[in-house]
Amino acid sequence: MAEISANKARTIIRKALAKGDEMGFKPLSVVILDAGGHVKAFERADGAAPGRFGIAHGKAYGSVMLGMAGTAQMARAEQQAYFMAAVNGVYGGQVVPVPGGVLVRDKRGAVIGAVGVTGDTSDNDVIAAMAGIEAAGLIGEA
Amino acid sequence: MAEISANKARTIIRKALAKGDEMGFKPLSVVILDAGGHVKAFERADGAAPGRFGIAHGKAYGSVMLGMAGTAQMARAEQQAYFMAAVNGVYGGQVVPVPGGVLVRDKRGAVIGAVGVTGDTSDNDVIAAMAGIEAAGLIGEA
Amino acid sequence: MAEISANKARTIIRKALAKGDEMGFKPLSVVILDAGGHVKAFERADGAAPGRFGIAHGKAYGSVMLGMAGTAQMARAEQQAYFMAAVNGVYGGQVVPVPGGVLVRDKRGAVIGAVGVTGDTSDNDVIAAMAGIEAAGLIGEA
Amino acid sequence: MAEISANKARTIIRKALAKGDEMGFKPLSVVILDAGGHVKAFERADGAAPGRFGIAHGKAYGSVMLGMAGTAQMARAEQQAYFMAAVNGVYGGQVVPVPGGVLVRDKRGAVIGAVGVTGDTSDNDVIAAMAGIEAAGLIGEA
């Protein structure tokens, strides 16, 4: 399956967390999913709340399953709240439709997975995610 | 149970996808349900996001279970969001109340199933669904 | 994502159903999943029971998620029933651990999806699945 | 809440995977949970099946929630299968009662989390988990 390799996943996590530290963000949690929405790697920084895996996962999972990153999901949720609520029914309540869910593409534009970051504001979560994805030589769509 | 035959289901899928290609829509996914809301046939075009089965299914499933096509469901959701949320509680979260869920009737007007299309805008999804249903000699109610 | 293309999926379904007709099997249902366990295509022959999508899906889904085809799952279930019961808890009850779930590999041996067939005996379901997979030029592991 | 630090979690994962490579095991997946059963870190080696997060998680989760490692859970499941089935009802189907779920204790014997490993035989999964835990200077109970 198309996926972010374990090596690249580790780079994304390390660099996203480092970006957060550098910017003075609150402790972040970072998940990497493959192109089928399955967990490849995750790390929760010391000091982050215990439930952060689920939020990071929900941001990335919706991105993969719908082929639509967090910013676009949020726009849809604001226009048509009942649609995103229904989507969550279909996907077992596993979708968190806000920025911080970032689609990852390879050089030819194919989706190979997604990154989900949570812990600070949604906008700051995106900054950390993009720093990680770029450090791994991949292309993010927030 | 009344149902769309396998032959007609194949025609609907083929023609709906062909209509999407012809119109330049994004890659579509098309599901056919029988009159009991059970899956008869499905195809997801190459390039569509992995989670599209659930969305296509949710559009068609709500249509059959409520006897109300996607356009009418959306009108109800916009007037009374809590009603469609409650419906989703009853049906296990499997209803996506937007256009693209199309009831299919035989020549005498009896519901024999539903078609669900997802991938482009809801309005374009309906165009593809109707093209497929008409090519199969059946009557659609969007 | 690595997946069986829509074209190949259609070939697998057509040839698996044709094999069933030729052998005099009961009406079959055939699902094709991608390498992430997501539905790519499905068809239920006329005369098959309405709930057959779930059984076909469950056979193929467990195969992809565990990387273990139906025959190996059945052996494990017979040795250690509580293990397969626990697996089903983890995967939301979506695993049917019997033959008829067939892993599909590309020429280099990578898993690109799975086929699930149900309707006749488990052994006959495998015969139909393998006929479809071979007709598509792919390699099945039953 | 007592937890394995991010640094130690990273060491456990790296060393458990290295042990698997060294021993020629199949590709492993390794999860680290905190003392509340919440995900701290995870990595799935390239080549492992997509659903392995759930299995690794289920081994570790049952260990933390019951305060009983995988080997003891398996013994109980073999004596009294209905008890472990009931436990799974209580914990939402998230318990996989086989070896590879390892409790982690600090120097004073307090449980600070659990490690879950899956991918090879249950016994080999334990070997990898223990190698990781020992490399991090912690005490494992398999």
pLDDT the model gives residue A60: 98
Q: How is domain D6-45+57-141 classified at the CATH fold level?
A: Beta-Lactamase (3.30.450)
Q: Which residues pair with D105 in a beta bridge?
A: D111, D139
Q: What is the DSSP letter of A31?
A: E
Tokens of A108: 């030819």
DSSP of chain D, one letter per residue? -----HHHHHHHHHHHHHHHHHHTPPPPEEEEEETTS-EEEEEE-TTS-TTHHHHHHHHHHHHHHHT--HHHHHHHHHH-HHHHHHHHHHTTT----STTEEEEE-TTS-EEEEEEEESS-HHHHHHHHHHHHHHTT-EEE-
Q: Which residues pair with C39 in a beta bridge?
A: C33
Is the separation of the CB atoms in B117 and B62 below 8 Å?
Answer: no
The answer to whether the CB atoms of A64 and B78 lie below 8 A apart is: no
| Rounded Cα–Cα distance for residues B112 and B33 (Å) | 9
Helix (H) / strand (E) containing A101: strand A101-105
Which chain D residue has the Cα nearest residue C80? D78
Q: Which of B29, B39, B118 to mutate to test the interface with C (most CBs of C within 10 A)?
A: B39
> Nearest Cα to D59, choosing from D49, D46, D47, D68?
D68
Calculate mean pLDDT across residues D10-21. 98
Summarize pLDDT for C23-77 with one digit per residue, the tens: 999 999 999 999 999 999 999 999 999 999 999 999 999 999 999 999 999 999 9
The answer to whether the CB atoms of B1 and C51 lie below 8 A apart is: no
Nearest CA to CA, how far is D53 from chain C (Å)? Answer: 10
Cα four-point dihedral sign A62, A66, A69, A73: negative
Whether A1 shows a pLDDT value over 70: the answer reads: no
Q: Which residue has the tokens 């982050």?
A: A48
Give the nearest partner residue to C38 out of A36, A92, A111, using CB atoms: A36
CA C90, chain centre distance (Å)? 20
Residues in B closer than 8 angstroms to C53, CB to CB, are: 38-39
Whether D139 shows a pLDDT value over 60: the answer reads: yes
Calculate mean pLDDT across residues D62-71. 96
DSSP of B10-78, one letter per residue? HHHHHHHHHHHHHHTPPPPEEEEEETTS-EEEEEE-TTS-TTHHHHHHHHHHHHHHHT--HHHHHHHHH
> Nearest Cα to A35, choosing from C36, C105, D54?
C36
Integer distance in angstroms from the first to the last C-alpha of chain D? 22
Is the separation of the CB atoms in B37 and B5 below 8 Å?
Answer: no
Whether C102 shows a pLDDT value over 90: the answer reads: yes
pLDDT the model gives residue B124: 98
Residues in C closer than 8 angstroms to B34, CB to CB, are: 50
Chains within contact range of chain C (3+ C-beta pairs < 8 Å): A, B, D
Whether A107 shows a pLDDT value over 90: the answer reads: no
Q: If you average pLDDT over every residue of chain C, what do you get?
A: 96
pLDDT the model gives residue D60: 98
Chains within contact range of chain B (3+ C-beta pairs < 8 Å): A, C
pLDDT the model gives residue D3: 80
The answer to whether the CB atoms of B96 and A85 lie below 8 A apart is: no
Is the separation of the CB atoms in B104 and B138 below 8 Å?
Answer: yes
Summarize pLDDT for A13-28 with one digit per residue, the tens: 999 999 999 999 999 9
The answer to whether the CB atoms of C50 and B42 lie below 8 A apart is: no
Q: What percent of chain C has pLDDT over 90?
A: 94
Which chain B residue has the Cα nearest residue A109? B47
pLDDT the model gives residue C7: 97
pLDDT the model gives residue A108: 86
Tokens of D116: 């879950």
Is the separation of the CB atoms in C60 and C30 below 8 Å?
Answer: no
Homologous superfamily of the A6-141 domain (CATH): Haem-degrading domain (3.30.450.150)
Tell me, yes or no, if D36 comes closer than 8 A to chain A by beta carbon.
Answer: yes
Domain extents in chain D = 6-45+57-141
Give the nearest partner residue to B49 out of A65, A83, A86, using CB atoms: A65
> Nearest Cα to B23, choosing from B35, B31, B15?
B15
Q: Which of D66, D73, D74, D96 to mutate to test the interface with C (most CBs of C within 10 A)?
A: D96
pLDDT the model gives residue B1: 54
| Rounded Cα–Cα distance for residues C103 and C61 (Å) | 10
Summarize pLDDT for A38-70 with one digit per residue, the tens: 999 999 999 999 999 999 999 999 999 999 999
| Rounded Cα–Cα distance for residues D60 and D38 (Å) | 10
> Nearest Cα to C113, choosing from C17, C25, C39, C20?
C39
| Rounded Cα–Cα distance for residues A128 and A131 (Å) | 5
Calculate mean pLDDT across residues C87-104. 97
Per-residue tens of pLDDT for chain B, all 142 residues: 578 999 999 999 999 999 999 999 999 999 999 999 999 999 999 999 999 999 999 999 999 999 999 999 999 999 999 999 999 999 999 999 999 999 999 888 999 999 999 999 999 999 999 999 999 999 999 9
